[in-house]
Amino acid sequence: MDDVLICGGGPAGSTAATLLRQYGHSVRLIEKEKFPRFHIGESLLPADLPVFQRLGVELPASQYLRKDGAMFVNERTGEEATYLFADALPEAIPHAYQAERAIFDDLLLKRSQQLGASIHEEEKLVSVDCDAAGVVAVTDKGTYHARYFVDATGQDAFLARKARTVDPLKGLGRAAVFCHFSGLKPEVIAELHESGNIRVLILEDGWVWLIPLADGRLSAGVVRRDVAMNEKVLEETFAASPMITRLTEGATRTHTRVIRNFSFKNTISHGARFCCIGDASCFLDPVFSSGVTLALISAEHMADTLHPALVNGTEKDPDLMIPTRKHMDRGYAAMGGLVRRFYESNLVDHLLFAKDPPEKFRKGLISILAADLWRDDNVFQDMLEKTSRYSL
Ligand SMILES: Cc1cc2nc3c(=O)[nH]c(=O)nc-3n(C[C@H](O)[C@H](O)[C@H](O)COP(=O)(O)OP(=O)(O)OC[C@H]3O[C@@H](n4cnc5c(N)ncnc54)[C@H](O)[C@@H]3O)c2cc1C
């Protein structure tokens, strides 16, 4: 019998596996794909860096591009605003990375394996029963018993879809169409790599991301609240943008993909002997690139909560993960509050393109953009919470 069975080898699952191995627990991780595998979500945030340090992973400069902040552009009005992580509230972590996810996710998974987690790739979870007596998981290759089950299955949200506890977050992005560009001109690569910033272009009915990658490619995608997304939307949107037309002139577009219905919350994310982390618990919307960070932090909090329970034999307590739920709800509320306002187009001007905003608001906004969401001195975050007309 294993101490912990984890399903999903993305950033949430591999982080949980590494930390639980560091604590000395036996860990088995089931992943249906063979790594390295493609995954969308290449822009990371400063709040990841302390987690990387804890995991003992380093991101080599040859594979990861340093990212200093984010640039927001409205080509219709000519407005532009750049936010640098270094300008956040005190003790800011001044940068993050742009990462090709196939390489990044593989790095994190291999780290957990290096520390002794038993990794089963190309094996799919079919069913799992968690109750006070224990965990029994059945895959397409075998049956496993464990003291605790962690659902880190990302958008597949294994437990939530089985229990029908997926609650779509209405009003946020619903579909994305995206691709990579290779063969960018050297002067364009130099321009994009200077700050490594993500560029977010604001559209009438959505937005576009432009993420430069260390190998010279550019990740680009369109997000809208309309699910009718296809390659034509991508082509028309890009053709209508002078900035994208200039940056991608002469480049080759590859791997166009569509993903839909990604913004949801799992209304039952923990119980007797189980917990859901990362996207399997909640995914807000990609606009501020918070998905990987919230996956890492949920895994970290879960592992720190589970460790003493495994030591004391109290892991079957159905309320064990209430502190983790509360911790994550605070983060989701802050980041989600900003995302909600982003989609209220009349508020974008007051927030992102505000002329001379009070310094403490500007710094507070940058701290949220950096996913520094659990501090007590952010008056901008307090204001977001107090004036929020929405709840997740
Ligand atoms: C359009 C779009 C753009 C995004 N852009 C960004 C971005 O720029 N920055 C950012 O931080 N985030 C971004 N994200 C979000 C980010 O990709 C996710 O939040 C992140 O991958 C979550 O990590 P995870 O470990 O929870 O899930 P995942 O990384 O999805 O990992 C889940 C793993 O579980 C495995 N799995 C699923 N079901 C089973 C099963 N039954 N058996 C075995 N294995 C299984 C899958 O194969 C997968 O490897 C974006 C998301 C979307 C939709």
The model's pLDDT over 223-266, given as tens digits with 9 standing for 90+, comes to 998 878 899 999 999 999 999 999 999 999 998 999 998 999 99
For residue 59, what are its two tokens? 């991101």
CA 39–ligand 1 middle distance (angstroms) = 7
To test ligand 1's pocket by mutation, which of 14, 156, 180 has the most ligand atoms within 8 angstroms of CB? 156
CB count within 10 Å of CB 389 equals 8
Ligand 1 centre and the CA of 10: distance in Å?
A: 6
283 within ligand 1 shell (Cβ under 6 A): yes
CB of 32 sitting under 6 A from ligand 1: yes
pTM: 0.96
Q: Going by C-beta distance under 8 Å and a sequence separation of 6 or more, which residues neighbour residue 284?
A: 169, 172, 263, 290, 291, 294, 332, 335, 336, 339, 392
Distance CA(325)–CA(301), nearest Å, equals: 9
CB 323 within 8 A of CB 306: no
Answer whether 153 contacts ligand 1 (Cβ < 6 A): yes
Domains of the chain are 2-168+264-387 (3.50.50.60), 175-260 (3.30.9.100)
For ligand 1, say whether the CB of 40 is within 6 Å of any of its atoms.
yes
CB 281 within 8 A of CB 169: no
Q: Model confidence over 133-177: pLDDT tens digits?
A: 999 999 999 999 999 999 999 999 999 999 999 999 988 888 999
Q: Is the CB of 278 under 6 A from ligand 1?
A: yes
Name 320's Cβ contacts closer than 8 Å, sequence gap at least 6: 270, 275, 305, 306, 309, 314
CA of 148: how far to CAs of 16, 23, 117, 316, in Å? 12, 15, 15, 8
Which tens digits make up the pLDDT trace of 38-67? 999 999 999 999 999 999 999 999 999 999
**Percent of the chain with pLDDT strictly greater than 70:** 98
| Rounded Cα gap, residues 83 and 73, in angstroms | 12
